[in-house]
Amino acid sequence: MGGLEEEKHARYIVSVEKKKDDFEALLIEHLRMNGAYWGLTTLDLLNKIGAIDVDEVVSWVMECQDKDCGGFAGNLGHDPHLLYTLSAVQVLAIVDRIDVLDIGKVSDYVAGLQNDDGSFSGDMWGETDTRFSYCAICCLSLLGRLSKINVEKAVNYIVSCKNLDGGFGSAPGGESHAGQIFCCVGALAITGSLHHVDRDLLGWWLCERQCKDGGLNGRPEKLADVCYSWWVLSSLIMIDRVHWIDKEKLTRFILNCQDKDNGGISDRPDNAVDVFHTYFGVAGLSLMEYPGLKSIDPAYALPVDVLLSSHVPSSYH
């Protein structure tokens, strides 16, 4: 088996960014901001960010901002949402253009989504989820405005979502799920609150997620999927337990999910590739210090050098 097809993955990402004429592109049109974050982060980790016209990206991102509330939409003409606001800030950080933002306005929008119990809503309609706690905390930290929210309440809400297995769910009592665990552990890492995590108990649950094929799943008795290479690994790194899994087997699992002809990475071997899983595969390999890749910060989900130039204290390194 060969190594990582860096060139082909970079070409695949660029081609997806350009291709907007098929039905698939249409269906993800409303979350294109997330797509831009996945694509650009992947290119940066592959040291191929030069393939992108920075001015075009910045101008499109800023067009997606709602000028009244300050939040960002998934695409032009859509409604603002916390999910896309974080992606927009991350994209601007990657291209080193945070300076174009009215930081006060964006951070007011994010801070305004905190609820009385410390949780966060995704937008004005009030859907609540620990995913949004992460989005808000990560976003405000990147903007240097964590002081605008009640961090103690935000942390207490996340801690109230902790389960008997040491993991976290989307709300108090919700089943532990590796994606939600990343969000909760990430938010706790950024706010310097990891002492609330039972590292050994959670670390054991997370390393039990490695399946016989070497891949990681997100819950017991589920199939392995490349996306968990990010959710599980980043969490294990944040709690300093990543050496408890078999990295060599996981690396092989990810490399086996590559489309060796046309680039891109799929959820599991021989499935169709997409930008989402290409990002998670490359980011997972970066977390395992795969040669030739930039290193990525496990909490902010951004290349470490991006954080350094933005003067954000890295969460781990």
Partner 1 sequence: MPSSDDEADRIPLSARPEWSDVRPVPQDDGPNPVAPIAYRDEFRETMDYFRAVYLADERSRRAIDLTTEVIGMNPGNYTVWHFRRVVLESLNADLLDERDFLDRMTMRNAKNYQIWHHRRWLAEKLGPEVANKELEFTKNILALDAKNYHAWSHRQWVLQSLGGWENELDYCCMLLEDDIFNNSAWNQRYFVITRSPLLGGLLAMRDSEVGYTTEAILANPQNESPWRYLRGLYKGDTSQLISDNRVSELCLKVLKTGNSYQFALSLLLDLLCYGFQPSEELRAVVEALRNSEQEDTVSSNLAATVCLILEITDPMRLNYWVWRRNNLPSQVC
- The binder of partner 1 chosen from 96, 152, 240, 246 (CB under 8 A): 246
Binding-site residue total for partner 1 (CB under 8 A)?
Answer: 56
Provide the minimum distance between the beta carbon of 38 and partner 1 in the complex, in angstroms, as a whole number.
14
Stretch that binds partner 1, among 138-146, 152-160, 204-212, 225-233 (CB under 8 A): 204-212
Any contact of residue 18 with partner 1 (CB under 8 A)? yes
Rounded (5°) CA angle 294-295-299: 140
Binding residue for partner 1, selected from 6, 8, 25, 196, defined by CB under 8 A:
25
Quote the CA–CA distance of 163 and 289 in Å, as a whole number.
31
Q: How far is the CB of 213 from partner 1 (least distance, A)?
A: 11
Give whichever of 1 and 125 is closer to partner 1, judged by the CB atom.
125
Site for partner 1 in 51-80 (CB under 8 A): 55-57, 59-60, 63, 73-74, 76-79
How far is Cα 142 from Cα 93, in angstroms, rounded to an integer? 8
Q: How far is the CB of 165 from partner 1 (least distance, A)?
A: 5
Residue 169 and residue 249: Cα distance in Å, rounded? Answer: 27
Among 152, 175, 240, 305, which residue interacts with partner 1 (rule: CB under 8 A)? Answer: 175
Closest distance to partner 1 from the beta carbon of 260 (Å) = 26
Q: Give me the residues paired with residue 72 across strands.
A: 65
Candidate list 210, 235, 251, 315; residue touching partner 1; CB under 8 A: 210
Whose tokens are 């089943």? That residue is 175
195 near partner 1 (CB under 8 A): no
Binding mask 214-233 for partner 1 (x = CB under 8 A): -----xxxx-----------
Residue 167 or 263 with smaller CB distance to partner 1: 167
Q: Are 147 and 154 in contact (CB under 8 A)?
A: no
Q: Near partner 1 by CB under 8 A, which window of 104-112, 137-145, 173-181, 291-299? A: 173-181
Smallest separation, CB 33 to partner 1 (Å)? 11
Beta carbon of residue 235, minimum distance to partner 1 (angstroms, whole number)? 15
Site for partner 1 in 73-112 (CB under 8 A): 73-74, 76-79, 81
The answer to the question of residue 244 lying near partner 1 (CB under 8 A) is yes
Interacting residue ranges for partner 1, rule: CB under 8 A: 17-21, 23, 25-27, 29-31, 36, 55-57, 59-60, 63, 73-74, 76-79, 81, 123, 125, 127, 163-165, 169-171, 173-177, 203-205, 207-208, 210, 212, 219-222, 243-246, 249
